[in-house]
Structure 1
Amino acid sequence: MGASGVSDEYTPPRLSRLLHSVPHVNTTLHRVNDTFAPNSAVYRESLGIIASIPGVWLILTLVILLIYLMTRCCDRKQRPPKSITALKITLMILSVLCCGAIGVGLFGNDDLHNAMLQSIQAGNQLAALVNTVKNQSSILEETMGSRARAPLARLADSLDMPVANQTALGTLLRALSTLRNNASVAVSAADNLRRPLAALNLDAFMKKLWVWEAARWAGGMAGWCCGGAVCVALLAAAARRSRRALLLLCVGAIFALIACWLGAAVLVSLAVAAGDACQEPARALAHYANHNLPADMVHYYLSCKVSRENVLTAELRTAQRAVVAVRQALAVLARGAPQLFNDPALQPTLGALNAGTGEAERALVSLSGALECRMARAYFVTGARAFCDSGLQALSLQLLAAVAAGFLFTAIVLVDSHAWIYINTKRSGTGEEQAPFLSSGASSAGSRTLPRPAPFPNGKPPSYSAAVQLMDLDRDRARSRMSGSATLGRGASGGGGSAAAALSGSHTLGRPPHNSKYATLSKQCKTLESNDFY
């Protein structure tokens, strides 16, 4: 339990002095006392005003974002693809920067956890000192009280026997009285040592503090990781240009920036209060820690500035003098009683008293070491340095990370909302949005179900008049073939019947003249593809 190699000199770190120099004002903006005083309503009011600065900025940010989103959601103007690409690249850069700020916050949260564990370890060492005082004072009280009561009664019975040497008997009786009186004094001193510390249970407090710190560390890690997840998801959504994902992550970024600024409000008030307390940590613990000890006693052991004798030290010296007197009286009885009285129970009785006195002396040695202020001061300085140096730096690092993440999330919301509003198209198979923003579902569904027409050979679709002209030309050619066949039939012998059959067949295929136009047009229209009319 020694504290060798640990300096008991404490100097407030530069960061705590910087935070302590932050102006403390009241609601009327007048300077107030900046000494750490959590029980003072004025001091708490000044911390609340400092914490309200990030809160006011958060309200202004939300109002600006609300106005911006209201104006952007009504904008349906198409944007060129290059502008969307620029927004995507900007959003990815902001997401990477925000991931860096969140990484700094994670580092600060873990560093603060390590500093708090060092402070808790120093507190456990102080608790061990308190337990040593309690246990050893209980041993002193027991050895000089309840355990010595029966041997003293047997010794008094042995000395009550009649003897011839009354002078020697008187010396033994005076030694017995001195032993009893000083044993009672030692018991009273031991009770005075133990009673003030009976209600002080540092072990339970350190266990609770460890649980609180574990919960704070886990909550901080979870919060920073959630912000990091939003940034990573924004990177993926920006790379894929997914409009739905960007819209959802825009809402997530709004919640993230709210959490960042609220966390900054809490962190700035805690950092300023810690900076005030680290100016005089011994005084802060002596006056405002949850204990039932006198403030001067706590200040004595934490600062080790001896202005007057401590109450516990005075009781320790009283107990030491009383045990020394008990040892001297017991030596007188051990020399004279066996010579004067021939009692077989005398030696065991003196042996029991001697063993109890030796145990009381060992308890006093432990008490003298535990009640030494330099050891308690060394443990306290170790814990104060861990919290006020490493812990305060980690707390300030988280504050800066929260502020930076708040600004970056604000910029992300602006760029993200600008991007998802202007992503208006969706390509087939790519998962990208294509329908115009705020367009009806029926029209977009109909446009997706119609097949795309095949390209035409000459680049132009056929018209109705062109189709009619083409069919008239085919009809004239058929008539020419029929006229030629009839002429050949009249000029050849024996060919009249075949020519008539050919003519009849030609009329059958070509249909009568008065029906050929519409019938041929109808027949030819059936061969046209439906896509040819688009």
Structure 2
Amino acid sequence: MDLIDQFINSSIASPGGDFKMSLVAKYFHQVPHKDIHFNWVNATFDLNDNQYQEALGIIVAIPGFWLILTLLFFLIFFLCRCCDVNSKKKKKLTCCKCFLFLFTILSIGVITVGLYGNYVTHEGMIKVQNSTSKIAQDIDDMNKLAAIVDKTFEKDIHDNLNLALNRVTGPIMKNYTLVNFIHAKIEEMKRNTNSASSIITEMRGKIFNKANFDQIENLNVPEKEMIRTLATWAVLISLLFIGLILICGVCRHSRCMLILFSVLGLLSLVICWVLTSVYIGFCVAVSDFCMDPEPFIYKYLPRESFLLDYYIKCGTIDQKSRITDNIYEKQSTDILMNLDKIALNHDEIKSHCRSNCSDLMFKQHMSHIVNGMNFVRAQLNKFGQYSNCQRIHESYKHSMNHSCKDVLEGVSLMLASSSVTGLIFTLLVLCASHTWINIRIKRNKAMAGDASEETAPFLAPASASSTVSSSTGNLKRTRDNYAAASGPSSRPRYSHTPPQTPHFVPGPNYMANAPPLGPQSTNVGQQGLQGHQMQHHHGHQPLGQPHYVVNYQ
């Protein structure tokens, strides 16, 4: 944070020396401005210039071009990994997990810098808006004061002079010489009033056109800035949440979470590089404006160049005079001279009417004229305070300071955060994809290792093996049943191999002299006959079994 604070506190003077700006404005202004034909373009800020727009568009398109290359790389990477899923080489994932964990923590820190930059930008925009609103308010107050003075001359002075003139008649005033004198003085006061009104009209023409500032007010900058701030907060917090998904996937060794991060990570890459394009275009444009703001301002307000000279160059010495001299001073002086003439004529009329003017309405009208003149003097004094160049020039300096320092530095932090986050997420998506692909391969290997002996090429198929196994199980159950029926005295099968007996051929009286066969012997004989038939059927004799030849007569 010390590095960020040093970055925030560093500033340089503008080329004109009127305001301070961030050090990054100098570097962004040095970014090459070239058109599509690679010709150099004037770096003076002018959004109405097609060549400047073209050069700025090329700068904005650079992060977009990098995004396209990144997406193409991931397309080729996933295609290659799909063709390499049957790799038999064992791969350890410990290094990948450590890499994912460490770089995820790094990405969270970088995104936090973006959150701080968003806060700085928002605070700077609020200050710029306040300074601009103060300028607009001062200009509006000047217009209102000029309108009030003009209306006072018309309603309170000129109309009361006409009403007072109508009250000066012969029947009311018996001294006709005094009547002619009052008529002449009132007519002179009316001429002075008309002269002052024309000067007020000229003065109002020297005030900034309020319509220009109404266009700025109609942009609804505070509402749009609030929407931008909230949207940026939402995007950056979503990136933090995606990073937490990756940490959970690494800690739990979860293939599903790693796949989810890979999908969301690709979407995050698009968002980061789009934001980078917007931020770099904004930084370059604002830096160009801060390095030389006057051409754009003079072009935006072409009819009020003398006012711009007065307010922007306040405090400097011109070839003819000092700019600090109030440009409304001559008009104000002329108005005050006309007021003095009106007041002088009023005093003369008042001195002659003390004893000869008994009409109360006439006196009341003359009193309204005096009140109007006093009110005009007060409004002119206030107009001089609002029209002083120091007042608006200070607001202009504050607006430029916050635009070229706070706002520019905040957007620069967000630019660094979005671009670095895009690069880190590129590595994280690459490593996370490699990790979950190898997790699947290791599982498939384990399954294949368990069934390797069963699927060997020299063994029977799975269906045949299952048939043989079932037949073997049935035969085993038959043997077990036979052993149980024979009783405990019978020997277990395969416990003893009898010696081979030589072949013999029974004589003709063999069956006659043989002892009688019981039920058990009959069964044994039948089994021997069946075995003999099976041996002849298969064409071979088991090793170690006696061969009996039975002669049936």
- Write the mapping of 1:88-487 to structure 2, written as runs, cut at 5 A: 88-161=97-170, 172-194=182-204, 197-202=209-214, 205=217, 208-288=220-300, 293-304=303-314, 305=316, 307=318, 314-424=330-440, 478-479=489-490
Cα separation, 1, equivalents of 2:51 and 2:329: 38
Q: 1:457-502: CA deviations, max 9, x gaps? A: xxxxx99999999999885962489xxxxxxxxxxxxxxxxxxxxx
Q: CA deviation at 1:78?
A: 5.6
Q: Which amino acid aligns with 2:185?
A: A
Q: After superposing the two structures, state which structure 1 stretch, 311-320 or 353-362, moved more.
A: 311-320
3-state SS in 2 of match to 1:328: helix
* Equivalent residues of 2:20, 2:405 under 8 A apart: no
* Equivalent residues of 1:123, 1:383 under 8 A apart: yes
- Write the mapping of 1:504-519 to structure 2, written as runs, cut at 5 A: 512-514=523-525
Query: Structure 1 residue 55 and structure 2 residue 64: aligned?
Result: yes
Q: CA deviation at 1:434?
A: 8.3
Q: Structure 1 residues 476 and 13 mapped into 2: Cα distance closer, same or farther (>3 Å)? A: closer
Cα separation, 2, equivalents of 1:12 and 1:24: 21
Q: CA deviation at 1:12?
A: 4.1
Q: CA deviation at 1:320?
A: 3.5
Q: CA deviation at 1:160?
A: 4.2
Cα separation, 2, equivalents of 1:264 and 1:472: 85
3-state SS in 2 of match to 1:191: helix
Q: How does the TM-score come out when normalised to structure 1? A: 0.75
Partner of 1:499: none
Q: CA deviation at 1:287?
A: 2.4
Unaligned runs of 5+ in 1: 1-7, 437-461, 482-505, 518-534
Query: Structure 1 residue 24 and structure 2 residue 40: aligned?
Result: no
Q: Structure 1 residues 231 and 81 mapped into 2: Cα distance closer, same or farther (>3 Å)? A: farther
Q: Structure 1 residues 166 and 226 mapped into 2: Cα distance closer, same or farther (>3 Å)? A: same
RMSD: 3.7
* Aligned partner of 1:71 among 77, 80, 94: 80
Q: CA deviation at 1:103?
A: 1.0
Unaligned runs of 5+ in 2: 1-16, 449-471, 493-517, 529-553
3-state SS in 1 of match to 2:141: helix
Q: CA deviation at 1:258?
A: 1.2
Partner of 2:55: 46
Q: Which amino acid aligns with 1:122?
A: S
* Equivalent residues of 2:326, 2:387 under 8 A apart: no
Cα separation, 1, equivalents of 2:329 and 2:47: 31
Q: CA deviation at 1:76?
A: 1.7
Q: Which amino acid aligns with 2:270?
A: I
* Equivalent residues of 1:426, 1:434 under 8 A apart: yes
Rg bigger for which structure?
2
Q: Structure 1 residues 480 and 279 mapped into 2: Cα distance closer, same or farther (>3 Å)? A: closer
Q: CA deviation at 1:299?
A: 3.9
Q: CA deviation at 1:68?
A: 0.8
* Equivalent residues of 2:145, 2:383 under 8 A apart: yes
* Equivalent residues of 2:85, 2:441 under 8 A apart: no
Cα separation, 1, equivalents of 2:253 and 2:403: 46
Cα separation, 2, equivalents of 1:22 and 1:167: 84
Q: Structure 1 residues 382 and 260 mapped into 2: Cα distance closer, same or farther (>3 Å)? A: same
Q: 1:26-83: CA deviations, max 9, x gaps? A: 2222222111122111111111121122122112111111111110122223678862
Q: After superposing the two structures, state which structure 1 stretch, 234-243 or 78-87, moved more.
A: 78-87
How many residues are aligned here? 457
What percentage of residue pairs aligned between the two structures are identical?
A: 22
Cα separation, 1, equivalents of 2:333 and 2:235: 55
Q: CA deviation at 1:403?
A: 0.8
Q: Which amino acid aligns with 1:399?
A: L
Q: Structure 1 residues 201 and 327 mapped into 2: Cα distance closer, same or farther (>3 Å)? A: farther
Q: Structure 1 residues 425 and 68 mapped into 2: Cα distance closer, same or farther (>3 Å)? A: closer
Cα separation, 1, equivalents of 2:298 and 2:144: 24
Partner of 2:10: none
* Equivalent residues of 1:105, 1:402 under 8 A apart: yes
* Equivalent residues of 1:36, 1:276 under 8 A apart: yes
Cα separation, 2, equivalents of 1:322 and 1:259: 67
Q: CA deviation at 1:282?
A: 4.5
Cα separation, 2, equivalents of 1:314 and 1:111: 44
Cα separation, 2, equivalents of 1:122 and 1:148: 37
Cα separation, 1, equivalents of 2:99 and 2:363: 95
Q: CA deviation at 1:9?
A: 4.0
Q: After superposing the two structures, state which structure 1 stretch, 240-249 or 39-48, moved more.
A: 240-249
Q: Structure 1 residues 164 and 40 mapped into 2: Cα distance closer, same or farther (>3 Å)? A: same
Q: 1:160-213: CA deviations, max 9, x gaps? A: 437687776565444322321222233233334445535344497177111121
Q: Structure 1 residues 174 and 514 mapped into 2: Cα distance closer, same or farther (>3 Å)? A: farther
Cα separation, 1, equivalents of 2:436 and 2:383: 73
